[in-house]
Amino acid sequence: MPPASKADKKAAVDAAAWMFNVVTSVGIIIVNKALMATYGFSFATTLTGLHFATTTLMTVVLRWLGYIQASHLPLPELLKFVLFANFSIVGMNVSLMWNSVGFYQIAKLTMIPVSCLLEVVFDKIRYSRDTKLSILVVLLGVAVCTVTDVSVNAKGFIAAFIAVWSTSLQQYYVHFLQRKYSLTSFNLLGHTAPSQAASLLLLGPFLDYWLTNKRIDAYNFHIPSIVFMILSCTIAVGTNLSQFICIGRFTAVSFQVLGHMKTILVLILGFLFFGKEGLNLQVVLGMIIAIVGMIWYSNASSKPGGKERRSHSISRSSQHKHGGSPESSEVDDKV
């Protein structure tokens, strides 16, 4: 009975963490869409800097209250993470601007195989046949849902390439740093959020001017737009935290696969709030295929004999090197 109850507790916490990420991620998309479409605030990079500034404030308060304990993250590791994360943010914005929506969506889909490659190369993870097939089904379903016109140019391809690899590396690094330095999600955010906030707030206005040809100091701030900005920053704290929690508990690949559920939810919410224009047989079919693939992936990756898993030798060596417990080693083996 104790092992079963422990497994049930872990499953409940995993589900809660995932729902936290889904709710905050979908919520921030809706709020940002209203802020940019309704109130004309098109300074996405600067807004992201404000998100991390608010997250930094949250970690400072929690550390002052004693909820975040002192921890160590070497400066070279921090700089690498911030570099990957900032290239991810800027790369995604530039990719969306220079590419068609169809190619932008295809580029986002390639993050899953890139994340798989990173885990195979660096963590020696192996995937069962069912897990691989379920990932392909998810990719197919989301592609059917979202990919329409596909056109690409040289600079758009380069931007998409940088965005895909930097995002995949950033998400892999979240899981890697938490394991290697025994950092909680709050600890890791406490180390990374201030650096990201400072760099994005410093460079953001210049990048946004380059992307939109608009200056943020010329924007007409008024109460409704400020309210939406505050709401966006508040939700972003949950989005940033939940991303670190989910990747720490699962892997970057699982986070990417299950993350496409947010794409499906955004499509459904768009239908509910904005009418039937974007809903057709192709979109409905894609949703069904993607959801079937996600259920299959969850089942295949959690089977004792068929899940993605790291070799025991790697886990044991990591355990002895970093002082991990047998319990944490077991979680790593089961990814």
- Residues 245-258 pLDDT 10s: 888 887 778 888 87
**3-state DSSP assignment of residue 149:** coil
> Where is pLDDT greater, at 8 or 294?
294
> Which of 233, 230, 193 is CA-nearest to residue 51?
233
The Cα 306–Cα 69 span in angstroms is 37
pLDDT given at position 273: 64
Answer yes or no: is pLDDT of 109 > 50.
Answer: yes
Residues paired with 309 in a beta bridge: 126
Q: pTM score, two decimals? A: 0.80
User: In the prediction, which pLDDT does 330 show?
Assistant: 36
CA distance 221 to 60: 28
Q: With 80 as the cut, is the pLDDT of residue 328 above it? A: no
pLDDT digits (tens, 9 = 90+) for 51-70: 999 999 999 998 998 888 88
Q: Is 309 helix (H, G, I), strand (E, B) or coil?
A: strand
Q: Where do we find the tokens 């192709």?
A: 282
Contact of 196 with 135, CB cutoff 8 Å: no
Distance from C-alpha of 195 to C-alpha of 40, rounded to nearest angstrom: 28
Using the predicted structure, report yes or no on whether residue 181 has a pLDDT greater than 90.
yes
Q: Which of 107, 109, 110, 83 is nearest to 97 (CA)?
A: 107
Q: Please give the residue that has the higher pLDDT: either 110 or 269.
A: 110
pLDDT-derived band of residue 158, with 50, 70 and 90 as boundaries? very high
Q: What is the mean pLDDT of the chain?
A: 82
The band of 4, judged by pLDDT with boundaries at 50, 70 and 90, is: low
| Percentage of the chain lying above the pLDDT 70 cut | 86
pLDDT of 234 above 60: yes
Report the b/e string of 43-73 with b at 16+ CB within 10 A.
bbbbbbbbbbbbbbebbeeeeeeeebeeeeb
| Angle subtended by helix axes 312-322 and 154-180, to nearest 10 | 60
Determine contact, residues 236/28, Cβ cutoff 8 Å.
Answer: yes
Residue burial 192-211, b: 16+ Cβ < 10 Å; e: rest: bbbbbbebbbeebbebbbeb
d(CA 47, CA 44): 5
Calculate the alpha carbon distances from 227 to 105, 186, 238 in Å: 30, 26, 17
* Range with the largest mean pLDDT of 58-67, 190-199, 313-322: 190-199
- Name beta bridge partners: 126: 309
